[in-house]
Chain A
Amino acid sequence: MAEAGKLVPVPTEQTAQFWRGCARRELRLQQCGDCGRYQFPPQDFCRYCCGARLTWKAVSGRGKVLSWTIVHWSPNPAYAADAPYSLALIQLDEGPRMLTNIIGCPPGPIEIGMQVKVDFEQCGPDILLPKFKVT
C-alpha cells in the first residue's frame, strides 16, 4: 500500500487502458496503425508520424537497463522513508522507455545493459504499478 504522501497515479481517459492492463498484470502500449511504432507515455496521436490510428497492444514486458541510481535522499518524506531505493531508466524491447524501480534484488547490484522483466506492485487501493525485475 502507498503511504500518505506518495504519488498514486490517477488514470485519465487517455491512460485508462494502460492502467486496466496493469490491473491484469499485463503491460500495454499504444501502437500506431500507420507507422507501426510503439509509444509511451500514452497520447492522442502518434508522436513519430502524427497518425491518429492508435491501438493498445499487450507487449513482452521485457527490456534492458539504460541507466540506474540508488536514491538516498528525497525532499518528500514518504519516499525518503524508503531510501535507499533504486530508480532506473529502462528501454522496452518494443522501443519506448520507462522510468521505474528495480525490485526483487537488494539495491546495488544493478548494471547498465541488464535484462529486466515487468512485475507489478500494489500502489494505492486501485493501482498496480509496473516495476521491473532483473532476469
Chain B
Amino acid sequence: MSRYGLRATMAIVGAADTRVGAVPDLSSAQLQTEAARLALADAAISKDQIDGLITCNASVERGPLRTFHAEMVAELLGIKPRFCLTGAVGGALPVLMMEHAAAVIAAGLCNTIVLISADNILSGSKRRVAVPEPWDDPQFEEPYGPTTPAMYALIARAHMHAYGTTSEQFAAVAVACRRHASMTPGAQKREPITIADVLNSRMIADPLHLLDCSLVSDGGAAIVMTAADRAKDFRNKPVYFLGAGEAHPYLSLLHADSLTESGAIESGRQAYAAAGVRPRDIDIAFVYDAFTPMAIIYLEDLGFCPKGEGGRFVEGGNVELGGALPINTHGGLLSYCHAGLANSIFHITEAVRQLRGECGPRQVAGARLAIIHGQGGRASTHGTAILGTEETL
C-alpha cells in the first residue's frame, strides 16, 4: 500500500497534555504514563482497549528506559500491547509516528494505538547532568564549541544573506507564539512580548537572541489513534489522519545540500499529495519553532509563500490569530513548552483541539484542515502530516 492509500484510514480519538513548564515532581517516565492516562480519559476508554503502544524516547533517561523504552512504559501502564515500538528521531518523531501508526493499523497489526511523547529537560537534566552530552561529532564538530542555537544560527544567517530576512521578521514569529500562549491556560510563558523585547533580549548565537530560542521545559502529551471506521464509536469528534510525508536528507550540517531549503519541501510535497489538498486549503499551520527562523523556512518550504518571502509572510500579524494563516495557536516550542525530544506531539494535540473546536478564545473559526511539521536534529529529519475534520473526507 502506498502512503496515498492511508488517507483517512485512521483517526485520533483522544488527546491530552500533562502539566507543562516546570514539573519537578514527575520523572520523564511518569510524564509518559500521566500523558497516556489523560489521553485515555479524554477518549473515555479503558487501558485494556489499547493494543498498540508507540513511545518517543526521552533525552534524560538511562538504563532500561533507554534500551526498552516503550516496553518499560507499557509495564508502568500495566498493559500488554500486541504492537510496541520506541522511536528516536527527535522532534520529527510524533508526526512520523502518526503515519507509521496509520500503516500499522491499516495492516491489521493492532486496532488502537497510544502514541506518547514526554521528556523533562528542565528538571531531569538538572538532576542528572551538569553539562549536556555532546550532540555533534566528537572529533570534527564538538571541539569548536558548537551549541544547538549556534547550529541554527548558521541556518538563520544563510537565510538572511540569501533573502534579506531581518531580525525583526524572526522576532515576529516569537511575538505571534507568545500572543497565542497568552490565551493558552498552562502555557509556560504567557506574558505578551513585543518585537523590541525580542531584539533587546540577550544574544545567544548571533543573529539569535534569547527570545528567538525555544524554552527548556518538562512535559508530555499523548494521542489515541484507531481505525477510521471505528472512530465514531468513541466519545470525541474524530480528527482524521489525511496524509503524511517524511524526509531524511542528512544528519550533520556538514552534509546538508542547502542551509536554506529544508527537507520540509519533500515531506510537505508527499503530505499534500497523500491528503489531496493544497497549501491554500490549510486553515492552521503547526510548524516546528525550535528557533524563530525555522518557522519562516518551514512556511516557505510547505508552500505558504514563495522561497525567500517567509520573512515578509510572518510580518504584520499574518501568522497570528485573525491573520491569513495562524501558526502554533498554543504558543509552540517558543512559548508553550519545549520538553526535549519529540516536541511536535504538542503541535498535534493542539491541532486536535482546534479541529474539534475546543479552543475557546484562541479557536480558529471553522478550522477544518491543519498541517503539522516536525523536525529533528539540525533541521535534519522531517515529518509533515495533515489532519482534518469529517467535512474534509
A interface list, Cβ under 8 A from B: 5-12, 15, 40-41, 66-77, 79, 82, 84-85, 87-89, 96-101, 112, 123, 129, 131
| B214 CB, nearest partner CB in chain A, Å | 14
Interface 9-residue window, one of B143-151, B167-175, B294-302, B323-331: B143-151
A70 to B147 alpha-carbon distance, docked (Å): 11
The 5 closest A-B pairs by CB, nearest first: A69-B153, A79-B145, A9-B139, A67-B154, A7-B142
Contact present for B205 and A99 (CB under 8 Å): no
Which A residues lie within 8 Å of B131 (CB)? 5, 75-77
Report which of A11, A70, A74 forms a contact with B206, defined as CB distance below 8 A: A70
Q: Indicate if the CB atoms of B155 and A71 lie closer than 8 Å.
A: no
Q: What's the Cα separation between A110 and B141 when bound, in Å? A: 19
**Partner-A contacts on B (CB < 8 A):** 131-132, 134, 136-147, 149-150, 153-155, 157-158, 161, 202-208, 253-255, 259
Q: Please pick, from A41, A72, A77, A131, the residue contacting B137 in the complex, using a CB distance under 8 A.
A: A41
Contacts of A40 in B (CB 8 A): 140, 254
A101 to B134, CA, bound (A): 17
B46 to chain A, nearest CB (A): 43
Q: Residue on A with the closest CB to B206?
A: A70
A66 to B151, CA, bound (A): 13
**Do A99 and B141 form a contact, CB below 8 Å, given A40-B254, A73-B147, A89-B253?**
yes
User: A-B contact count, CB below 8 Å?
Assistant: 109
Interface pair A72/B145, CB less than 8 Å apart? no
Whether the Cβ atoms of B205 and A71 lie closer than 8 Å is yes
Contacts of B208 in A (CB 8 A): 69
Beyond A66-B259, A71-B150, A98-B254, whether A112 also contacts B203 by CB under 8 A is: no
A73–B206 Cα gap in the complex (Å)?
10
B125 to chain A, nearest CB (A): 9
Partner of A71, one of B143, B147, B207: B147
CA distance A103 to B204 in the complex (A): 20
A85 touches B145 (CB 8 A): yes
Question: Bound complex: CA of A67 vs CA of B151, how far in Å?
Answer: 10
Residues from chain B with a CB closer than 8 A to the CB of A131 are 144
Q: A9-B138, A68-B157 are in contact. Are A101 and B206 (CB under 8 A)?
A: no
Q: Would you give the shortest CB distance from B338 to chain A, in whole angstroms?
A: 15
Q: How far is the CA of A96 from the CA of B255 in the complex (A)?
A: 8
Please state if B143 and A129 are interface contacts (CB–CB under 8 Å): yes
Cβ contact within 8 Å between B139 and A15 = yes
Interface core residue of A10, A71, A88 (most chain B CB under 10 Å): A71
> Are A72 and B206 in contact, with the CB atoms below 8 A?
yes
Interchain CB contact under 8 A, A96 and B254 = yes
Q: List 14 A-B contacts (CB under 8 A).
A: A7-B134, A67-B161, A67-B259, A69-B157, A69-B207, A70-B205, A72-B205, A85-B145, A87-B154, A89-B154, A97-B254, A99-B253, A99-B254, A101-B144
Chain A proximity of B159: nearest CB distance (Å): 9
Residues of A within 8 A of B138 (CB): 7, 9-10
A residues within 8 A CB of B207?
A: 69
Nearest Cβ on chain A to B259's Cβ, whole angstroms: 6
Given A6-B145, A72-B202, A99-B136, 20 more A-B residue pairs with CB atoms under 8 Å apart are: A5-B131, A7-B134, A7-B138, A8-B143, A9-B143, A10-B139, A40-B254, A67-B259, A69-B157, A70-B205, A71-B205, A72-B203, A79-B145, A82-B145, A87-B154, A87-B205, A89-B259, A101-B145, A112-B158, A129-B143
**Shortest distance in angstroms between B311's beta carbon and chain A's nearest beta carbon?**
17
Inter-chain contact A41/B139, CB cutoff 8 Å = yes
Question: Which residues from B are CB-within-8-Å of A75?
Answer: 131-132, 147
Chain A residues with CB below 8 A from B147, complex form: 71, 73-75, 79
A74 to B151, CA, bound (A): 12
